[in-house]
A and B are shown apart, each in its own frame.
Chain A
Amino acid sequence: MWPDPRVEKFVEENFIPARVHVRADSGLFQKYSEKYGAQWTPTILQLDPKGEERHRIEGFLPADDFLAQLMLGRAHLAFAMAQWDDAERRFREVVDRFPNSDAAPEALYWAGATRYKGTGDGSALGATAQAFRERYQETPWAKKASVWG
Protein backbone atom coordinates (compact mmCIF):
# COMPACT_ATOMS: atom_id res chain seq x y z
CA MET A 1 0.00 0.00 0.00
CA TRP A 2 2.74 2.53 0.81
CA PRO A 3 4.96 2.05 -2.24
CA ASP A 4 2.09 3.16 -4.48
CA PRO A 5 2.98 6.58 -5.93
CA ARG A 6 -0.66 7.73 -5.94
CA VAL A 7 -0.91 7.01 -2.22
CA GLU A 8 2.33 8.79 -1.48
CA LYS A 9 1.31 11.83 -3.53
CA PHE A 10 -2.06 12.05 -1.79
CA VAL A 11 -0.52 11.80 1.67
CA GLU A 12 2.20 14.31 0.83
CA GLU A 13 -0.38 16.82 -0.40
CA ASN A 14 -2.89 16.41 2.42
CA PHE A 15 -1.13 15.49 5.68
CA ILE A 16 1.87 15.75 7.86
CA PRO A 17 2.91 12.07 7.75
CA ALA A 18 4.13 10.52 10.99
CA ARG A 19 4.98 6.95 11.90
CA VAL A 20 5.65 5.07 15.10
CA HIS A 21 7.20 1.65 14.65
CA VAL A 22 6.50 -1.05 17.18
CA ARG A 23 10.20 -1.83 17.63
CA ALA A 24 12.20 1.13 16.34
CA ASP A 25 10.02 3.66 18.19
CA SER A 26 8.84 1.42 21.00
CA GLY A 27 8.39 4.17 23.59
CA LEU A 28 6.44 6.42 21.25
CA PHE A 29 4.50 3.45 19.93
CA GLN A 30 3.35 2.58 23.44
CA LYS A 31 2.51 6.18 24.29
CA TYR A 32 0.43 6.85 21.21
CA SER A 33 -1.13 3.41 20.87
CA GLU A 34 -2.50 3.93 24.38
CA LYS A 35 -3.61 7.47 23.65
CA TYR A 36 -5.50 6.51 20.50
CA GLY A 37 -6.39 2.90 21.33
CA ALA A 38 -4.40 1.47 18.44
CA GLN A 39 -4.12 -2.22 19.23
CA TRP A 40 -3.11 -3.66 15.88
CA THR A 41 -0.74 -2.95 13.04
CA PRO A 42 -1.02 -1.50 10.60
CA THR A 43 -3.35 1.11 12.02
CA ILE A 44 -3.48 4.42 10.19
CA LEU A 45 -5.18 7.36 11.87
CA GLN A 46 -6.19 10.60 10.28
CA LEU A 47 -6.07 13.34 12.88
CA ASP A 48 -7.46 16.84 12.57
CA PRO A 49 -5.16 19.78 13.32
CA LYS A 50 -6.11 19.55 17.00
CA GLY A 51 -5.01 15.91 17.16
CA GLU A 52 -8.53 14.48 17.26
CA GLU A 53 -9.01 11.21 15.39
CA ARG A 54 -11.37 11.56 12.41
CA HIS A 55 -10.76 8.33 10.49
CA ARG A 56 -9.13 4.96 11.16
CA ILE A 57 -7.85 2.25 8.82
CA GLU A 58 -6.92 -1.07 10.44
CA GLY A 59 -5.19 -3.86 8.56
CA PHE A 60 -3.65 -4.13 5.14
CA LEU A 61 -5.54 -2.96 2.06
CA PRO A 62 -4.62 -3.13 -1.63
CA ALA A 63 -3.53 0.22 -3.01
CA ASP A 64 -6.84 1.23 -4.64
CA ASP A 65 -8.85 0.46 -1.53
CA PHE A 66 -6.27 2.10 0.69
CA LEU A 67 -6.27 5.27 -1.39
CA ALA A 68 -10.08 5.29 -1.39
CA GLN A 69 -10.06 5.01 2.42
CA LEU A 70 -7.50 7.79 2.71
CA MET A 71 -9.61 10.02 0.47
CA LEU A 72 -12.73 9.14 2.47
CA GLY A 73 -10.99 10.02 5.69
CA ARG A 74 -9.75 13.32 4.27
CA ALA A 75 -13.33 14.12 3.29
CA HIS A 76 -14.48 13.35 6.84
CA LEU A 77 -11.80 15.73 8.09
CA ALA A 78 -13.21 18.50 5.91
CA PHE A 79 -16.71 17.64 7.16
CA ALA A 80 -15.56 17.86 10.78
CA MET A 81 -14.12 21.30 10.06
CA ALA A 82 -17.41 22.41 8.46
CA GLN A 83 -15.72 22.89 5.09
CA TRP A 84 -18.86 21.81 3.29
CA ASP A 85 -17.94 22.46 -0.34
CA ASP A 86 -14.55 20.82 0.03
CA ALA A 87 -15.98 17.87 1.94
CA GLU A 88 -18.70 17.20 -0.62
CA ARG A 89 -16.22 17.41 -3.49
CA ARG A 90 -13.96 14.96 -1.72
CA PHE A 91 -16.75 12.50 -0.91
CA ARG A 92 -17.99 12.54 -4.51
CA GLU A 93 -14.44 12.04 -5.80
CA VAL A 94 -14.26 8.77 -3.86
CA VAL A 95 -17.44 7.54 -5.56
CA ASP A 96 -16.29 8.70 -8.99
CA ARG A 97 -12.75 7.31 -8.83
CA PHE A 98 -13.33 4.13 -6.82
CA PRO A 99 -16.96 3.15 -7.37
CA ASN A 100 -16.32 -0.49 -6.51
CA SER A 101 -14.48 0.16 -3.27
CA ASP A 102 -15.97 -0.35 0.19
CA ALA A 103 -15.44 3.36 0.74
CA ALA A 104 -17.75 4.38 -2.12
CA PRO A 105 -21.20 3.78 -0.54
CA GLU A 106 -20.11 5.51 2.67
CA ALA A 107 -18.83 8.41 0.61
CA LEU A 108 -22.10 8.62 -1.32
CA TYR A 109 -24.06 8.78 1.93
CA TRP A 110 -21.88 11.50 3.39
CA ALA A 111 -21.85 13.49 0.15
CA GLY A 112 -25.61 13.86 0.52
CA ALA A 113 -25.36 14.67 4.21
CA THR A 114 -22.68 17.24 3.48
CA ARG A 115 -24.76 18.94 0.78
CA TYR A 116 -27.63 19.19 3.25
CA LYS A 117 -25.39 20.52 6.03
CA GLY A 118 -23.91 23.12 3.72
CA THR A 119 -27.10 24.31 2.06
CA GLY A 120 -30.01 23.33 4.27
CA ASP A 121 -31.61 21.91 1.16
CA GLY A 122 -33.50 18.76 2.14
CA SER A 123 -33.77 17.65 -1.47
CA ALA A 124 -30.10 16.67 -1.25
CA LEU A 125 -31.08 13.88 1.10
CA GLY A 126 -33.90 12.70 -1.17
CA ALA A 127 -31.55 12.66 -4.13
CA THR A 128 -29.11 10.57 -2.14
CA ALA A 129 -31.82 8.08 -1.20
CA GLN A 130 -32.72 7.85 -4.88
CA ALA A 131 -29.08 7.27 -5.79
CA PHE A 132 -28.98 4.36 -3.35
CA ARG A 133 -31.97 2.80 -5.06
CA GLU A 134 -29.81 2.59 -8.17
CA ARG A 135 -26.58 1.31 -6.64
CA TYR A 136 -25.12 -0.11 -3.43
CA GLN A 137 -28.54 -1.42 -2.36
CA GLU A 138 -27.05 -4.20 -0.25
CA THR A 139 -24.92 -1.94 1.91
CA PRO A 140 -25.67 -0.54 5.38
CA TRP A 141 -25.40 2.94 3.88
CA ALA A 142 -28.40 2.28 1.64
CA LYS A 143 -30.40 1.33 4.73
CA LYS A 144 -29.31 4.51 6.49
CA ALA A 145 -30.26 6.64 3.48
CA SER A 146 -33.61 4.92 2.99
CA VAL A 147 -35.23 7.16 5.60
CA TRP A 148 -34.47 10.17 3.41
CA GLY A 149 -36.92 9.38 0.66
Chain B
Amino acid sequence: MSLSFRHDVDAVLADASRENKPVLLDFSAAPM
Protein backbone atom coordinates (compact mmCIF):
# COMPACT_ATOMS: atom_id res chain seq x y z
CA MET B 1 0.00 0.00 0.00
CA SER B 2 1.31 3.44 -0.84
CA LEU B 3 -0.52 6.61 0.06
CA SER B 4 -1.49 8.85 -2.78
CA PHE B 5 -0.97 12.44 -1.68
CA ARG B 6 -2.73 15.16 -3.55
CA HIS B 7 -0.93 18.42 -4.26
CA ASP B 8 -3.89 20.53 -5.39
CA VAL B 9 -4.51 21.85 -1.90
CA ASP B 10 -7.17 24.38 -2.90
CA ALA B 11 -9.21 21.58 -4.45
CA VAL B 12 -8.53 19.31 -1.47
CA LEU B 13 -9.96 21.90 0.91
CA ALA B 14 -13.01 22.33 -1.30
CA ASP B 15 -13.52 18.56 -1.44
CA ALA B 16 -13.10 18.31 2.34
CA SER B 17 -15.82 20.87 2.90
CA ARG B 18 -18.17 19.18 0.44
CA GLU B 19 -17.50 15.66 1.77
CA ASN B 20 -17.26 16.74 5.44
CA LYS B 21 -13.94 14.92 5.68
CA PRO B 22 -10.76 15.98 7.52
CA VAL B 23 -7.54 16.78 5.71
CA LEU B 24 -4.02 15.72 6.51
CA LEU B 25 -1.60 18.31 5.12
CA ASP B 26 2.08 17.31 5.03
CA PHE B 27 4.73 19.99 4.67
CA SER B 28 7.66 17.95 3.39
CA ALA B 29 11.27 18.32 2.41
CA ALA B 30 11.85 14.59 2.08
CA PRO B 31 14.04 13.36 -0.80
CA MET B 32 11.92 12.66 -3.84
Contacts and interface: CB of A to CB of B under 8 A. Distances in A.
Given A22-B29, A51-B13, A28 B7 contact: yes
Given A18-B9, A18-B12, A47-B16, A12 B3 contact: yes
Interface of A: 2, 5, 8-9, 11-12, 14-25, 28-29, 31-33, 36, 38, 40-51, 54, 70, 74, 77
Nearest to B25: A45
B29 A9 contact: no
Contacts of A46: 22-24
A130 to B, nearest CB: 32
Given A5-B1, A28-B9, A20 B17 contact: no
A55 B28 CA distance: 17
Given A22-B28, A44-B24, A45-B24, A16 B3 contact: no
Most A C-beta atoms less than 10 A away, residue of B19, B27, B29: B27
Nearest to A10: B24
A32 B25 contact: yes
B4 A17 contact: yes
A22 B27 contact: yes
B23 A16 contact: yes
A25 B24 contact: no
Nearest to B16: A49
A29 B28 CA distance: 9
Nearest to B18: A49
Contact of B7 (A9, A20, A44, A54): A20
Given A2-B3, A15-B23, A18-B8, 19 more contacts: A5-B1, A12-B1, A14-B24, A15-B24, A16-B15, A18-B9, A18-B25, A25-B7, A31-B9, A32-B9, A41-B29, A47-B24, A47-B25, A49-B19, A49-B21, A51-B13, A51-B23, A54-B22, A70-B24
